[in-house]
Structure 1
Amino acid sequence: MKILGISAFYHDSAAALVIDGSIVAAAQEERFTRKKHDLGYPKNSIEYCLNFAELKASDIDYVVFYDKPLAKFDRLLKTYFAFAPKGFTSFREAIPVWLKDKIFHKRQIIKEFSLMDGDINWSQKLIFSEHHLSHAASAFYPSPFQRAAVLTMDGVGEWTTTSLAIGNGRDLKVLREIHFPHSIGLLYSAFTYYIGFKVNSGEYKVMGLAPYGEPRYVDLIKTHLIDIKEDGSFRLNMAYFDYCTGLRMTNDRFHDLFGAPPRFADVPLTQRDMDLAASVQVVTEEIVLKLARNIAKETGERNLCLAGGVALNCVANGKLLRENIFDNIWMQPAAGDAGGALGAALAGYHLFSGKSRSVEAEGDAMKGSYLGPDYSQKEIEKRLTDAGAKFETLDDRAFIEFCACALDEGKAIGWHQGRMEFGPRALGARSIIGDARSPTMQKILNLKVKYRESFRPFAPSVLREDVSSWFDLDSDSPYMLLVADVKAEKRIVMSDSEKMLFGIDKLNIKRSSIPAVTHVDYSARVQTVHKNTNPRYYSLIARFKELTGCPVIVNTSFNVRGEPIVNTPEDAFRCFMGTGIEILAIGNCILKKETQDQSLVKSYENNFELD
C-alpha cells in the first residue's frame, strides 16, 4: 500500500511517502522553492516523493492531509465571536483569506492531483487526519518502541495545543488534550515576538539566547501570565495576550508588565532581553517536566515519544532525559508541521487502513532522517560544470583524507553528501563543518559564513562511541535534539574576572578544549554520528580523530541566515561562492574557493529575508 502524506497552507509545507509501512521519502517544500518556511501547496515535494519511488500519481492508494481545515475555521469563528467586538480589524483581514482559499483546501488538493491524473476520483482517495494525531503518529510509529506514551506540544492545531496519547503496536489513542488559547507553544512565541524575533521562525533564537541571561522574570510570568498545576496542565491569562483577536502576540498590558514595548529587530539586544529569554525557557522546562512526571505516574509507561514544535526545544529535552522520568525518550526529528505530513501518511497506513506495525530491530524507522533528494556523481559533475564551477574528483579514500586535513587546518567546509535531511536540522548531509577545537570558528562561521547573530551557538557532531568521553551524555542523539554539558575534564576554568561578565561579553571566553561548540553555560546540542546511517560522515570524523585525537567537529546547516538549507548542487555552489566557505565537498568533488572564476563571486548576505 502506497500512502502520500502532505502538510500545507500554514507553514513548513511538506510531503512524505510511506509504502507498506516503510518511510520511503520526505521533503519540505522550502528546499525546492528556496522560500523559508514555505506554506504553499507542496507540489515539488510531492513530485520528488513520486519520482524517487518511481511511481505515478495513479499508484497512490491514499492521500492524507495532516489536519482538518474546517475545524480550524470553526476555532477561528468561535474565538472571534467570543472576544467580539474586540479584534474586528483582525477578523476583517482573516475572513476573506479563509473564504477565498483556506476553507476550500479539499477542493484545491483534488484539483492539484487531478492535474497529475484526471482519470482518478481523488475525492475518494483523500483523507483528513487531525493535527495533533498527525504529530503523535509521526512520533510513535517510527520510534523504536512497541508501546509508549506520546506527548505532543505546539502552538495550536485545530483546537488542541497539547495532547497525551498511548501507542501500542499499530494502535494510537489520544487520551487527553489542552485546548486553545492555552498553549505552551504560543507562550514561547509571545516572548519570541516580544524579544524581537519572528514567530514560527525565531523560537530557537530565544533558546540560544537564554544562557546569556538570568531567569529574573519567572515569578512575574507565573504570577500574571500562566497558572501551572502540579500535573503540568496550565492556563494562560488572556488579558496579557493579543493572538486570539489581534495582529500581534502581546498587548499593552503585557508590555506594561515588563516595562517596555516589544524590541524592534534592528535594535541591539540588551541584558533584559536575555533575562526574558532565560525566564520563559525555565517556565517551559517546568511545564514539560511536570507533564512528563504526571504522564509516567498516570499511565505507567516507561517509554516517551515527543513531537510538535515544542519538542524541538533541545534544552528542555536534555533536562527531561537527565530527570530519568522514563527509561527511554524518542523525539521525531521533523517535530514541527513538516513532520505532520509524515505522521499523516503513517496514520493513514496504521489507523485508517488498519495495517500492522513492526518495530525496527535496531534503531528507529527514520533512516537517520536522510529522506530527501540525492544526486549521483555523474549528475553532480554535470551540474557543477554547467554552473561554471572548477573542481577535482577524488576517490573515496583521498576525498576523506583531504577533507579531514582541511578541517585540521581550520577551514570551513560546505558538506553536501547523500540524501538531504528531513526536518530543520542539518545532520551531516547538507552541513557546514569546521574544527571544534578552534577558538575563532564560532565567530567566523556566524559573521562571515552564516551572516547571523554572534550569540548563536553551533552544534557538535561526535562519534557515537566517544560521546560519553566528551559530554555528560551516554545515549543516542542522532537528530541533534538533546542538549548536554561538556565533560568537566574538557572544560577550562574561568577566572574571577571572567565570571563577573554579563550577556554577550561572555561570548569570547574560551570555555573548553572544543570552544567552537561549547555554549556560554558549558552546554552543547549534541549530534551522535552512527556508521550505519551516515557512513561517509562517520568516516570523515573518524579520520579527523586519527589526525587530531578529537572525535568532535562543528556542524551547522548549509545555508545563510534566512535561507532554507541547500538542496541541489547548484544551491550549494551559490552559497559557497557567496560566503566565506573555503572548501566545497560535494559527492567526490572538491572545490577550492581560490581556484573558482572570480566573476561568479556574488554577495550572498542579503539574498534572503532575515529570519
Structure 2
Amino acid sequence: MIVLGLVGRPDVPQCHDAAACLVIDGKVVGALEQERISRRRHAEGEGPEGAVRALLDAHGIHPSEVQAIGYAWADAPEGALTPETDIPCGVHVSDRLTETILPGLAGELGTRDIVFFDHHLCHAAQAYYLNPYRSADILVADGWGGDGSTSLFHVQDGRFRLLERYDRCWSLGVFYGAASAYANLGWWGAGKLMGLSSYGRTSDLRFMTFDPADASFRLDRRLKGSLATARDWGRLGDQWLETFAASCFPHTDSSGNAFDYAPFAADVQLTVEELGLDLAGRLRRLSGEETLLLSGGVALNAHMNRRLARESGYGRVSGTVAPNDGGTVFGAAMLAEALLGKAPEPLSADEEPPIFFGPDVSTKAIEEALVRSGMTAQAREPGALRAEVAGAVDRGQVVAWFDGRNEFGPRALGARSLLASPRDRATLDRLNRVKSRQPWRPAALSLTGQGFEQLGMEPPVSGLSDYMLCTHRVGEAGVARAVAGVHVDHTTRAQYVPDADDGFGALLAAVGEETGLPAVINTSLNTKGEPMALGPDQALDLMAGCADIDLLAIPPYVVRRA
C-alpha cells in the first residue's frame, strides 16, 4: 500500500512546517519538508505539494499509485465521513479539501479522499512508529493542537489511548515562544532563549506550575496583568507579553542587551523543565509504564529532556528526529495505513535511528551543479576525502559537509552540516559569521562514543542523543579540550554518532585520527533565515557567498576556496 502523510495548507496563513511523508507497505521510504523546496523558512502559509512531488519523483511513483492520504490536523470540512475505528480523538474522511491542499496534484491522485487525524495523536503516532517499543507513554507538548496544548497518551501494540488533555490556555509552547519574543529573540527563538538561560541565575519565580496529583495548572500569584484573571486563547501570546513586561525585569521587550534578559530566561527555562517533570510524573502515575516517548515542539528543549531522562523515573526516554509539527506527517501516514491497510509495526530493535529521509543525490546531479556554478572541484576516493576534511578541521578551517540523503527535521545530523574544530574559539567566531549568529549562543557537538568518553561527558541517551535532543555535562578536562563546543554552564547539546565505515561516523573517525578527538562543532548548512540546503546547487551557492567557508565536501568531490 502506498500512503502519503501531509501537513500544511496554502489557504491558512498561520500554517507552518508543511511537510510530506511517503510510506510503502508500512515502511517510511521518504519524508521532506516543504521549506526545502520553496526555500522559505518554516513554509508559513504553504501546502506540501512541492515536497510531495519531490518524494514521488525520487521514488519513481506516479500520483495515481497513491492509495491513501493522512493529514495531521483535524481539518475535515462539514459533512465528512466518520468511520468506525478504535483510533482515538476522532477520524474523518473527505475529498473536499484535496484540491486546496494539493491543487496541482488532486486530479492525478489514485484517491482524492484525505483522512484527517487529531494533531496530537499524529505527534504521538510519529513517536511510536519511529521507536522500537511495543508499549509506551507519550507526552505531547507544543503550542496547540486542535482543542489542547498538552496531551498524555499510552500505546500498547499500536492501540492508542488518550489519557488526559489540557486546555490551550496552559500552552507550554505559547508561553516559551512569548518569552522568546519578550527577550527580543523572536517568536521562533526558543533555542536562543534556552542558550541565554544558562547565563542567568534563577529566582523563586515559577510562571506556571502543574500538580501531578490532581492535574491542575496554576499561575504564580505575583504575576500581573489580564493573564492572571482572564486567560483568552485568542490573545494568549499578547497576554504573556503584557505579563512579562509588568512582572519581570527589564520590563520591556526593546532592550538591546541580550543579557538583560538572562535571569528572566533562566526562570522561564526552569519553569518549563519542572512542568515537563511534573507532566511526566502525572503520566507515569496514570499508566505505570517504564518507557516515555516525547513529541511536540517543546520536546526540542534539550535541557528539559536531560532532566526527564535523569529524573522522571522512566527507565527509557526517547524522542524522534523531528518532534516539531513537520514530523506529524510520519504519524498521519502510519495512522492512515493502520486504518485502511495492514497495521504497521514500530521499528525493530536492531534498526539504526531513522534520520535520513530526503531524496537521493546522484553523482550526475552533483556534477551538473558544479558545471552550473563554474566552480572547480577535485574528485577524491572516500578515504582520501575524509582525510582532507579532517585535515581542514585540524587546521581551524570551516567545512561545509553535503553527503547523501538529507536529514529530516530541524537538526543538522551529518548530511547537511557546517563543521569546525571545537578546540579554538576563533574558528567558532568564523562559523558564527557565516550564520550571522550571536557569539554568546552555544555550539553543538557531534561525537562518537569514544568522543563522549574522552571529554568526560555524561553518556549518550538512546533516542535523544542520536537526534541532538539532549544536553550533556562535560568534564573539567573535556571543557579545555573542546572549549568552543561547550557552553558557559559546561554542557553541550551533543549528537551521538555511532561508529561506521562510511558517512558521518567514518568522517568523525578520520577527525579523531587527525586531531586526537573524534568530535566536531556541527551546525546546519544554511545562513540566517534560510532553510537547510537540499540539493547541491544550494550548497555551492553557500560556498560561493560565504568567504569564511574554506572547503565544501560534496562526495565524491571537494571544492576549495581559491
Q: Scaled by the length of structure 1, what TM-score is found? A: 0.82
Q: How does 1:506-517 map to 2 (within 5 A)?
A: 512-517=480-485
The match for 2:56 is 50
Residue 59 in structure 1 maps to residue 65 in structure 2: yes
Shift of residue 444 of structure 1? Answer: 2.0
Higher helix proportion, which one?
Answer: 1
Shift of 1:169: 1.8
Distance 1:554 1:417, change over 3 A: same
Give the 5 Å matches for 1:178-197: 178-197=166-185
State the match for 1:377 in structure 2: 363
What is residue 428 of structure 1 aligned with on the other side? 414
Residues 7, 114 of structure 1: alpha-carbon distance in 2 compared, 3 angstrom cutoff: closer
Alignment correspondent of 1:473: 459
Of residues 14, 31, 34 in structure 1, which corresponds to 2:36? Answer: 31
After TM superposition, the structure 1 stretch with the greater mean CA deviation from structure 2, 580-589 or 349-358, is 349-358
Letter in 1 for 2:50: N
Q: Is the 8 A contact 2:4 2:333 kept in 1?
A: yes
Deviation at 1:272, TM superposition (A): 3.0
Residues 249 and 335 (structure 1 numbering): CA distance in 2 closer, same or farther, change over 3 Å?
Answer: farther
Distance 1:280 1:547, change over 3 A: same
SS in 2 for 1:245: helix
Q: Secondary structure at the match of 2:520?
A: strand
User: 1:345-389 CA deviation, whole Å, 9 max, x = no partner?
Assistant: 11212355451425313145x53x100123111220111111211
Q: Find the counterpart in structure 2 of residue 450 from structure 1.
A: 435
SS at match of 2:531: coil
Give, as a single letter, the amino acid of the residue that structure 1 aligns with 2:378.
Answer: E
Q: Indicate the residue corresponding to 1:304 in structure 2.
A: 292
> What secondary structure, in the 3-state scheme, does the structure 2 residue paired with 1:397 have?
helix
- TM-align CA RMSD: 2.3
**Distance apart, 1:120 and its partner CA:** 5.6
| 1:407/1:434 contact within 8 Å kept | yes
Partner of 1:226: 208
**Percent identity between the aligned chains?**
30
Q: Per-residue deviation at 1:268?
A: 2.1
SS of 1:250's partner is helix
Partner of 1:439: 425
In the alignment, does 2:109 pair up with 1:128?
A: no
Shift of 1:468: 3.6
Of 227-236 and 450-459, more deviation after overlay is shown by 227-236
- Length-normalised TM-score, structure 2: 0.89
Matched, 1:170 2:158: yes
1:153 corresponds to which of 117, 121, 141: 141
Alignment-mate amino acid for residue 193 of structure 2 = V
Specify the SS of the correspondent of 2:3.
strand
Structure 2 unpaired stretches of 5+: 10-14, 79-93, 221-225
Inter-partner Cα distance in structure 1 for 2:95 and 2:217: 34
DSSP-derived class of the 1:273 partner: helix
Q: Is the 8 A contact 2:208 2:271 kept in 1?
A: no
Aligned to 1:41: 47
Query: Which residue number in structure 1 is paired with residue 491 of structure 2?
Result: 523
- From 549, 572, 581, give the equivalent of 2:539: 572
- In the TM superposition, what are the counterparts of 1:43-442 in structure 2 within 5 Å? 43-69=49-75, 107-110=96-99, 113=102, 115-116=104-105, 118=107, 122-123=111-112, 125-199=113-187, 201-216=188-203, 218-219=204-205, 222=206, 225-231=207-213, 233-235=216-218, 239=227, 244-245=234-235, 248=238, 250-258=240-248, 260-264=250-254, 267-323=255-311, 325-351=313-339, 353=341, 355-363=343-351, 367=354, 369-442=355-428
CA deviations over 1:256-313 (Å, ceiling 9, x no partner): 222555423xx52243311111110000000111122232233111111110000000
Deviations 1:388-433 (A, max 9, x none): 1111111112111111111111110000001111000000100000
Query: For structure 1, which runs of at least 5 residues remain unmatched after alignment?
Result: 73-104, 492-511, 595-611
| 1:244 CA displacement | 2.1
- What secondary structure, in the 3-state scheme, does the structure 1 residue paired with 2:31 have? strand
Aligned pairs, number? 529
1:477-522 Cα shifts (integer Å, max 9, x gaps)? 211001011123323xxxxxxxxxxxxxxxxxxxx21011100000
Q: Within 5 Å, which residues of 2 pair with 1:596-611?
A: none
Displacement of 1:252 after TM fit?
A: 3.7
What CA distance in whole angstroms lies between the structure 2 residues aligned with 1:14 and 1:142? Answer: 17
- The letter for the 1-side match of 2:189 is G
Correspondences of 1:548-587 after superposition (within 5 Å): 548-579=515-546, 580-587=548-555
Give the C-alpha shift of residue 182 in structure 1. Answer: 1.4
Matched, 1:487 2:475: yes
Q: CA deviation at 1:197?
A: 2.2
- 1:99-130 CA-to-partner distances (Å, cap 9, x unmatched) read xxxxxx9644335657436266744x310011
Contact persistence 2:64–2:111 (CA under 8 A): no
How far apart, in 1, do the equivalents of 2:389 and 2:283 lie?
Answer: 47
Question: Residue 571 and residue 120 in structure 1: after superposition, are their counterparts in 2 closer, same or farther (change >3 A)?
Answer: closer
User: Bigger shift: 267-276 or 338-347?
Assistant: 267-276
Q: 1:253 to 1:323 in 2, by over 3 A?
A: closer
- Over 3 Å counting, the alpha-carbon distance change for 1:349 and 1:277 in structure 2 is same
Question: CA 1:300/1:352 → structure 2, altered by over 3 Å: closer, same or farther?
Answer: farther
Q: Which amino acid aligns with 1:388?
A: G
**One-letter identity of the residue aligned with 2:208:** I
Instruction: Tell me: CA distance 1:44–1:211, structure 2 relative to 1, closer, same or farther (3 Å).
Output: same
